[in-house]
Structure 1
């Protein structure tokens, strides 16, 4: 016992020393046991559902199928014969065929091939014309005019998308066959023997590229093309109008019966483009340009070159847009020089759908064969037509859409054009007592004030109505031997177009309207075309259509040529 007490007393100093050196040390020991409860159907909670990789359906790339229009070549013979009520689903092919009184005929077909995801080819064909007898009260003929004209046109367009640019290649060919209105039923073209018909050949080819890489420091587009216009039996300067005198050149003076004039041929090399870059957000600086090289044979017309430049700056904000530019145009030759015109556009937007706008523009218009042929196929040219130049065309307007489906536009302005062209109905003689009527042109400065309004309302896909009108007040600088009454004989003083279209029930759509033109001269009958049409889908992608024009059976003419009275066209439409 004494030994045990001695041992305990001996250990006491050691325990005291330990307590003193580790008095501040606090240790916490946590013992965790694995928690694995047994729960019924626990695997349904702890196991994640299987995740399937998303799949994206590959879609065919859709491209724009229209090319940029070539300046100065605006003749379009493909006139729509109806207004489609509903936007049709895209179809690769179409065929429209119709026939009517006055021998009216239509054959319109086309197809679109998606060769690959980046290649597309589009082909269109059009045959449009008439062959019938038309009453001629305005020229006091003793018999009807056996009118005949046919336009045949083929268009091809190819598109390829590269990574940085898009490439477009296209072309067209059009044949126009028609006969002039003679002073009687005898051959109006006396020099061509039994052939009573004139023949124009029109064609063009073009290639264009446009950037599509938005990361480039600048964007661009460029197009160049070749255009060809040929008139088989030349009417250039071979006779005097409004007289009984025939001008015979040296080659034909000895034997007029064997005289066959040369073709008139116009060739145009047209180039246009645009380059622009962004300065800051919503601000751009750019330059648009164009060049036309005109070549004629035989050399009755002078060859010349026209160069157009249009530098500009644009800015767009939340409630405004502005385009500030200028036209700087150069023309070669004796009639040439440098011309300037403004190119300014501005818009102020308030309440999102109300826009107050101002446009002040100008520029050059070449009065070449392609342009005058678009005015009338019965044209003739007695001398070189200088290019017209719009010195200023200032317009201010207000357009808005105050409610869903309703849209209107009200505007007014003033236009001043140097070397403006005026159309005249002229009588041309091949030889004594044998003549025919044509449309010739003279030039003088014009000053026109105008006011117009447009209104359109549509309700879903059930119906749409619209009206637009334009009043023009004309003044000219006059021309030797021509008063304003003569120069402005065919000038439109007031134009109005009213239309309506609607869906009667599923598959049946109807449309109608009125086209009215009041001429400057009171000696002419007003153009008054009241028309109606219908389209009925009898089977999927197969429908029949009809169109009736001049329901009031009015007598009127356009540029000296009488038009059809009550006429109709009916046919079938296929989509595939």
Structure 2
């Protein structure tokens, strides 16, 4: 098997004809470019001054447009361990916003994806998008249903005024799937394993062209409901106040001053199990100042959080918690040259864990969760990044942090021990619940982008993350190492785009259960927990190709999980094997 992986990897990298993957969902991203972003790997945000390249005159002549971020799900029905990226293929610099594409493949896969937008005479851009992905699942592996359908429908509006730009977008998302990961029992083929999640989002954003006083304002809201009547409402408001580019005498040092003010409220209610209910209201203040000279800078700041939390369920009365948090915020960069920039800093913060976030990480999470925030008391990091002749970009860093209430997923046992298979969809030891522990985290990460030819882009990322917990021996369902490598290659006068993406993860520890009937005759189920089970690592290799027959018409093909490894993302949840999808794309 190892030789097979090595030979295929060398072959794929050698021809450089690759991008990827099965499409999961799509998101509207303001100012998102279709062409690769050269500075993509410089992800660390600071209060360093940024020059906003959209004065009103230029905006009216060349308005910024929405594109769709199509998220590949690698080979899973609903990925949870692989983060999304723009789906390939897309032709750099020639792609159009208005398009529709349709594809079909094995495993009953159907893809429909489209986007349309128009700029009106009054500098207002309106648009809409739709995305649908359906698969019939692993019929040969499971007698019960494992099919899934995910869809999203969105509309957006951009308005460009004299002082700033305004964006409003709304999106409805549907994910209809099954808790198919049953490993400890043998249920009937017609067992009901259905779960369905509906989510509606409305977001607004106003960005001033200058960085004077009020920089930008963002408002986000989300309304979620699932098949088991769980409901979650969330709203957040963030305003950034700033005064940038204040010259300090003749020293050549500029001062940037920023103040972030944020409010976030989340209310979640569950209707099964313990019927957990939570209500969070969090206020953030983030003052910071940045001293900058050339590419070198020093940022000093703080983050203050004021949390009001309420939790209750059928086993306990409402618990209230009011607490004030302080977190350090600092970062420096010493730029010896554009090729070598040494940086480091410390940060921290409070993250509200919501049911919507849990489902994004693990769609098989039980519809009854005890929610509490995760506190990063501090996280120190140092790194080196640079740009070598605009051909090679790199960013390597290492960090260490102390955290409280680290959230991860633990497999659930049976909820009903009676000897019967006539039970709820989530009661086959096939769901997961959030658990929390305090501890330390060490991380090493690196990313690189290489542009050896004008028509060839190669990129790679690797991340090592090690947790040391207070109560648990191991953190469950978190790999020690994640890595990816990809390439895009255009040829035939940019009519043909080829791509490759390889995604790799190391082994993960999880808990699991062995279940047997006991009694005479069997009257109840008895479970034995294994707290050191393993979910194997994987190598998932993906190819893609698109050929532009006409400027408005092209054909494409995607090959996913070409090693045909039905690895598991969570215990019991096998992914699809080798998949081939082909289709057509029309732009207009």
Query: 2:370·2:434 contact (CA, 8 Å) conserved in 1?
Result: no
Q: Deviations 1:376-407 (Å, cap 9, x if unpaired)? A: 21111544221111112222111122233112
Query: 2:508·2:536 contact (CA, 8 Å) conserved in 1?
Result: no
Match of 2:214 among 194, 219, 235: 219
Q: Return the alpha-carbon distance in structure 2 between the equivalents of residues 359 and 97 of structure 1.
A: 47
Match of 1:471 among 459, 464, 468: 464
Partner in structure 2 of residue 484 of structure 1: 473
Task: State the TM-score, normalizing by the size of structure 1.
Answer: 0.75
Query: How far has the Cα of 1:306 moved from its partner?
Result: 1.2
Q: Return the alpha-carbon distance in structure 1 between the equivalents of residues 446 and 157 of structure 2.
A: 39
Query: 1:229·1:267 contact (CA, 8 Å) conserved in 2?
Result: yes
Partner in structure 1 of residue 574 of structure 2: 562
Query: How far has the Cα of 1:78 moved from its partner?
Result: 11
Partner in structure 2 of residue 124 of structure 1: 129
Match of 2:207 among 200, 205, 210: 210
Higher strand share: 2
Match of 1:377 among 360, 363, 367: 363
Worse-superposed segment, 82-91 or 544-553: 82-91
Query: How far has the Cα of 1:284 moved from its partner?
Result: 1.7
Query: How far has the Cα of 1:91 moved from its partner?
Result: 2.2
Query: Alignment partner of 2:400: what SS?
Result: strand
Q: Deviations 1:218-265 (Å, cap 9, x if unpaired)? A: 2332222331011122xxxxxxxxxxxxxxxxxxxxxxxxxxxxx111
Q: Does 1:454 align with 2:459?
A: no
1:51-200 aligned within 5 A: 60-63=61-64, 65=66, 82-84=87-89, 86-89=91-94, 91-133=96-138, 143-181=142-180, 182=182, 183-186=185-188, 196-200=193-197
Q: Return the alpha-carbon distance in structure 2 between the equivalents of residues 493 and 518 of structure 1.
A: 6
Closer, same or farther: CA 302–489 of 1 in aligned 2, 3 Å: closer
Higher helix share: 1
Partner in structure 2 of residue 445 of structure 1: 438
Q: Return the alpha-carbon distance in structure 2 between the equivalents of residues 382 and 356 of structure 1.
A: 45
1:364-513 aligned within 5 A: 364-429=350-415, 432-434=419-421, 435-436=427-428, 437-478=430-471, 483-485=472-474, 488-506=475-493, 507-513=495-501
Worse-superposed segment, 440-449 or 517-526: 517-526
Partner in structure 1 of residue 233 of structure 2: 267
The CA RMSD over aligned residues, in Å, is 2.8
Query: How far has the Cα of 1:280 moved from its partner?
Result: 1.8
Q: Return the alpha-carbon distance in structure 2 between the equivalents of residues 180 and 448 of structure 1.
A: 31
Query: 1:111·1:122 contact (CA, 8 Å) conserved in 2?
Result: yes
Query: 1:170·1:207 contact (CA, 8 Å) conserved in 2?
Result: yes
Worse-superposed segment, 99-108 or 195-204: 195-204
Worse-superposed segment, 180-189 or 369-378: 180-189
Closer, same or farther: CA 448–213 of 1 in aligned 2, 3 Å: closer
Closer, same or farther: CA 231–85 of 1 in aligned 2, 3 Å: closer
Query: How far has the Cα of 1:127 moved from its partner?
Result: 0.7
Larger CA Rg, structure 1 vs 2 = 1
Task: State the TM-score, normalizing by the size of structure 2.
Answer: 0.73
Query: 2:59·2:160 contact (CA, 8 Å) conserved in 1?
Result: no
Q: Report how many residues are paired.
A: 466
Q: Return the alpha-carbon distance in structure 1 between the equivalents of residues 195 and 323 of structure 2.
A: 36
Query: 2:482·2:505 contact (CA, 8 Å) conserved in 1?
Result: yes
1:299-378 aligned within 5 A: 300-333=276-309, 334-378=320-364
Partner in structure 2 of residue 285 of structure 1: 257
Closer, same or farther: CA 513–220 of 1 in aligned 2, 3 Å: closer
Query: How far has the Cα of 1:269 moved from its partner?
Result: 2.2
Q: Return the alpha-carbon distance in structure 1 between the equivalents of residues 149 and 536 of structure 2.
A: 26
Q: Return the alpha-carbon distance in structure 2 between the equivalents of residues 78 and 471 of structure 1.
A: 15
Partner in structure 2 of residue 546 of structure 1: 557
Q: Return the alpha-carbon distance in structure 2 between the equivalents of residues 339 and 219 of structure 1.
A: 25
Worse-superposed segment, 278-287 or 406-415: 278-287
Query: Alignment partner of 2:358: what SS?
Result: helix
Query: 1:95·1:107 contact (CA, 8 Å) conserved in 2?
Result: yes
Query: How far has the Cα of 1:368 moved from its partner?
Result: 0.6
Closer, same or farther: CA 456–161 of 1 in aligned 2, 3 Å: closer
Query: Alignment partner of 1:277: what SS?
Result: strand
Query: Alignment partner of 1:371: what SS?
Result: helix
Q: Return the alpha-carbon distance in structure 2 between the equivalents of residues 100 and 171 of structure 1.
A: 30
Q: Return the alpha-carbon distance in structure 2 between the equivalents of residues 414 and 212 of structure 1.
A: 37
Query: Alignment partner of 1:302: what SS?
Result: strand
Q: Return the alpha-carbon distance in structure 1 between the equivalents of residues 477 and 59 of structure 2.
A: 57
Q: Return the alpha-carbon distance in structure 1 between the equivalents of residues 542 and 172 of structure 2.
A: 31
Query: How far has the Cα of 1:472 moved from its partner?
Result: 2.0
Worse-superposed segment, 154-163 or 293-302: 293-302
Query: How far has the Cα of 1:286 moved from its partner?
Result: 1.6
Partner in structure 1 of residue 223 of structure 2: 228
Q: Return the alpha-carbon distance in structure 2 between the equivalents of residues 148 and 203 of structure 1.
A: 23
Closer, same or farther: CA 101–381 of 1 in aligned 2, 3 Å: same
Query: Alignment partner of 1:102: what SS?
Result: coil
Q: Return the alpha-carbon distance in structure 1 between the equivalents of residues 83 and 584 of structure 2.
A: 17
Q: Return the alpha-carbon distance in structure 2 between the equivalents of residues 352 and 62 of structure 1.
A: 31
Worse-superposed segment, 458-467 or 427-436: 427-436
Query: Alignment partner of 2:146: what SS?
Result: strand
Greater relative CO, 1 or 2 (CA 8 Å, sep 6+): 2
Q: Return the alpha-carbon distance in structure 2 between the equivalents of residues 453 and 276 of structure 1.
A: 31
Q: Return the alpha-carbon distance in structure 1 between the equivalents of residues 583 and 323 of structure 2.
A: 53
Match of 2:505 among 495, 517, 520: 517
Query: 2:378·2:402 contact (CA, 8 Å) conserved in 1?
Result: yes
Query: Alignment partner of 1:373: what SS?
Result: helix
Query: How far has the Cα of 1:325 moved from its partner?
Result: 1.2
Q: Does 1:575 align with 2:587?
A: yes
